[in-house]
Each structure stands twice: as structure tokens, then as C-alpha cells.
Amino acid sequence: MHAAVIVFPGSNCDRDLAVAFERAGARVSMVWHKDTDLPQGVDVVGVPGGFSYGDYLRCGAIAANSPICRSVIAHADKGGYVLGVCNGFQILTETGILPGALLRNAGLKYVCKPVGLRVATADSVFSHGYEAGRTITVPIAHHDGNYFADTATLDRLEGEDRVAFTYTDNPNGSARDFAGILSENRRVLGMMPHPERMAEPLQGGTDGAALFSGLMGALERA
């Protein structure tokens, strides 16, 4: 399997994400934000955490208009798989690939700590490595992770089983405790917590590893 990890000025989790993909068995290409095309044969695109373009204007707003993001949008539109983590989730909402927006944390402070996540659905390539209802521990590190969408969108996400993860103790004010959501075709996941930072014992836990191993396994069987 071939994964591409996008690198923006200000990305700081691109290597972490690449290593998580590699440990799950993927071949990884690092792709610069000024590139106009993804490498040939890419199965999944990882949009990493960090502070792309210094978070100027809005978190992810400038990155969403970078040359490579046109190719990421085209990849998603064709049914390709995309994982956006933290700033990557913000970028995916700014591009319109995923609905809603990430606002300033309700407490108006940067929050960096492990949090409990409930696996809301196991019916996706990203979450099928977990049992629905299971609680896992994954770290967060963000200032603008407060997920917002109108009531109709929130109802649709819940009604279509597109909420991948919810917080067990909401750290940022996110609507209905949403921590990660899926696209309509379930091939794009955006989440604020960092599974790549909890993917091997040296990181203090391995609860994030099943996301990557499950994804790679599902793509190999596809």
C-alpha cells in the first residue's frame, strides 16, 4: 500500500504520521505543499497536524488553497482515502471535503493531554480495528479543536453513522462531543486527536495503532 503525507510550512506531525503508516506496512511518500500532483498509485493521503502557514487567517485556510490540496480534493472526489489529523482535519473542513468548522476551544486555551475517545462506529476502514463502544486513549494538542456545524449537519452525521469518535470528557466544546467524522462515502476521516502519537509502546500506549493497521489491512483486501 502506498501512502502520501503532505508537508506544509509549519507542519510538525508529518514524520509521526509517516512512521505510523510505515509501521502498519505502507510505503510512504512525503509530498511538498507546492507540488501539484500526488505520486502515482497513492492509496491514502495523510494530512498531518501542526500549524500550517502559521495558522494565519484561520487554521488550515491557507493550506486548503495550496497547489497540492487541489490534488487531494480530486483524490477524495474519485473515491480515494484521506486521513486528516488535527490541523489536517481543519484543512479538510476548509476545503469542503468534510462539513463543519473547527473553532477556538471553548476555554480559549491550548490543550495538550491524553483524552478518552469512544469508538462511535466500527463501520469504516479507519475504525474497524476497534469494537464500537470501546474507549481508547489518544492525545490531543490544539487551540482550535471545537467542532461546529449547524443542527441539520450534526443530525445528518449522527443519522448516517458518520461520527467515528466522540470525547468521553469534552476538552474543547465540540458539538455533541464529536472528535472525528467521516465523509459521505466513509473514505475520508478527519479527527482532532493524534492516533499517530499513541501508536507504539515508547509513546506511552498503542491505542492509535489499530487505526493504521486496520486501514492498511482493509486496503490490501480491497
Q: Does residue 79 carry a pLDDT above 90? A: yes
* Residues forming the active site: 86, 194, 196
Tell me the average pLDDT of the chain: 97
Percent above pLDDT 90 for the chain: 96
Q: Does residue 146 carry a pLDDT above 80? A: yes
Quote the Cα angle for 161-1-181, to 5°. Answer: 20
How do residues 178-209 score in pLDDT, each as one tens digit? 999 999 999 999 999 999 999 999 999 999 99
How do residues 158-179 score in pLDDT, each as one tens digit? 999 999 999 999 999 999 999 9
Q: Are 14 and 63 in contact (CB under 8 A)?
A: no
Amino acid symbol at 150: D
Q: Are 8 and 53 in contact (CB under 8 A)?
A: yes
Can you give the C-alpha Rg of the chain in angstroms? 15
The pLDDT value given to residue 222: 67
The pLDDT value given to residue 218: 87
The pLDDT value given to residue 57: 87
The pLDDT value given to residue 220: 83
Enumerate domains of the chain plus CATH numbers. 2-221 (3.40.50.880)
Q: Which residue has the cell 507546492?
A: 34
Rounded CA-CA distance 47/195 in Å is: 13
